Amino acid sequence: MKEFLEIKDLKKSFGVGEARQDVLRGMNFTVKKGEFCVLLGPSGSGKSTLLNIIGGIDTPDEGFVSINGDKLEEMNEKELTLYRRKHLGYVFQMYNLIPNLNVKENIEVGAYLSDNPLDVEEVLTTLGLQDHKYKYPNQLSGGQQQRVSIGRAVVKNPDILMCDEPTGALDYKTSKEILALIEDCNNKFGSTVIMVTHNEAIKNMADHVIKLRDGVVRHNDINENKIAAADLEW
């Protein structure tokens, strides 16, 4: 696999003066295309900020993010939007579904953005949502809502699937199901997955594990012995 994503000397801080807090303090790593990469770290380690910068919804103070050779910092607002539109799929800890669109329509919101979207029905089947496709988000459980959120992201057939604590609000069983789905998408559609989590167990299903602490990369490991999401235990 060739290098797809490059993070170089990435720095980011919030606040000024005494209140200044360096969240990212010179971060470097690369991710290969199709890789399942987990960004692991405790709260405040900067993993969500990093993900947001990779996703083009936040900007670094220094350093750069390069995707397929294109530096995000050189993109203007319009190009960044296009970048997100064409290459990224986002899954948030909170599902942020549109309350007055049903399951299928919420997924179509993602499909609409893509030039080569996946078949919505197929995605619904893959996610086990066929029976719920006409339900509104408030008629679904948390896990089901997260499935829809994943569906909305993967239906775009994105180059990178960005997952920010996708199981943070879910119970053990549902979390494993969601992880299995993301794994499926990674395998089936070949999307690069970058997942932010503080759950140590999840690293076992990843190809690439980057451990963050205090805004720097502490460990950057390739997982030679990854296991299926279904086999994860925590």
Partner 1 sequence: MKNPLIKRVPRELISDWHRYLVIIVFMVIMIGVISGMYVGHDSMLSSVYAGRDELNLEDGSFELSKRASQKLLDGISSGERADVRTYYIEKGTKTADKEVAKAIDEKLNEQVMNIIEEGVRAQCAAFGIADEEIIKQQIDKAVTDSFDEVLKQVKESEEYEKAVDEAYEEAHEEVVKKVDEEWDEVSDRYSLDDPDFEPVSVNIFEHFYREESEDNNNDGVEDANVRIFKSDAEIDKASFNQGRAPEKEGEIAIDRMHADNVGVGIGDTITVGGKKFEIVGLLSYVNYLTLHESNTDLMFDAFGFDVAMVTPEAFNKLRSRIHFSYAYKYDVEPQSKVEQADYSDNFLKALITQTLVNDNEIEDYLPEYLRQASNFAISDIEGDSAGTSILCYILIGVIAFIFAIIISNTIDKEASVIGTLRASGYSRSELVVHYMTMPFIVTILGAIIGNILGYTAFRNMAVYLYYNSYSLPVCHAVWSNTALIKTTIIPLLLMFFINLFVIVKKLQLSPLRFLRHDLVRTRRTKAMRLPRWKFLRRFRLRILFQNMPNYLVLIFGVIFIELMLCFAFGLPDSLTHYAKEAPSMMFAEYQYMLMDHLDDDGNVIETSEDSAERFSMTELLYPKNRSSFREGMGSGGDESVTVYGILADSSFIKLDKSSDDNSVNISSAFAKKFELSKGDNITLNAEYENKSYNFKVEGIIDYDGGIAAFLDVDSYNRIFEKEPDEFSGYFSRNEITDIDDQYIATVITEEDILKVTNQLMHSMGNFMDVFKYALIVLSASLIYLLAKIIIERNEHSISMVKILGFRNSEIGSLYIIPTAIVVVLFSVISFVIGYYLMVWIFHIFMLQMDGYFAFFMKPLSMVMSVLYLLIGYAFVSALDFRRIQRIPLDVALKNIE
92 binds partner 1 (CB under 8 A): yes
Stretch that binds partner 1, among 112-120, 178-186, 213-221, 225-233 (CB under 8 A): 112-120
CB atoms < 10 A from the CB of 139, how many?
12
CA-wise closest residue to 31 among 223, 234, 194: 194
3-state secondary structure of 208: strand
CB atoms < 10 A from the CB of 159, how many?
19
| Closest distance to partner 1 from the beta carbon of 225 (Å) | 33
Which residue lies nearer to partner 1 by CB, 138 or 225? Answer: 138
Q: Please select the residue that binds partner 1; options are 113, 180, 201, 216, rule is CB under 8 A.
A: 113
Dihedral sign computed on CA atoms, order 130, 151, 221, 39: negative
| Closest distance to partner 1 from the beta carbon of 118 (Å) | 13
CA-wise closest residue to 172 among 199, 190, 209: 199
CA-wise closest residue to 185 among 153, 141, 225: 153
Query: What binding mask, one character per residue, do residues 195-234 give for partner 1 by CB under 8 A, x or -?
Result: ----------------------------------------
Using CB atoms within 10 Å of the CB of residue 110, give its burial: 0 to 12 exposed, 13 to 18 middle, 19+ buried. Answer: buried
Which residue lies nearer to partner 1 by CB, 36 or 95? Answer: 95
Which residue lies nearer to partner 1 by CB, 2 or 78? Answer: 78
Query: What binding mask, one character per residue, do residues 36-75 give for partner 1 by CB under 8 A, x or -?
Result: ----------------x--x-xx-----------------
Which residue lies nearer to partner 1 by CB, 45 or 145? Answer: 145
174 binds partner 1 (CB under 8 A): no
Stretch that binds partner 1, among 22-30, 150-158, 188-196, 206-214 (CB under 8 A): 150-158
CA 95, CA 103: separation in Å to the nearest integer? Answer: 12
Residue 208 backbone class (left: φ over 0; alpha: ψ -120 to 50; beta: rest): beta
| Closest distance to partner 1 from the beta carbon of 120 (Å) | 10
> What DSSP element (H or E) covers 218?
strand 216-222
CA 26, CA 214: separation in Å to the nearest integer? Answer: 11
Q: Please select the residue that binds partner 1; options are 4, 36, 90, 189, rule is CB under 8 A.
A: 90
Question: Interface with partner 1 by CB under 8 A: which residues?
Answer: 19, 52, 55, 57-58, 78, 81-86, 88-90, 92, 94, 96, 98-101, 105, 108-113, 117, 138, 152-153, 156, 169
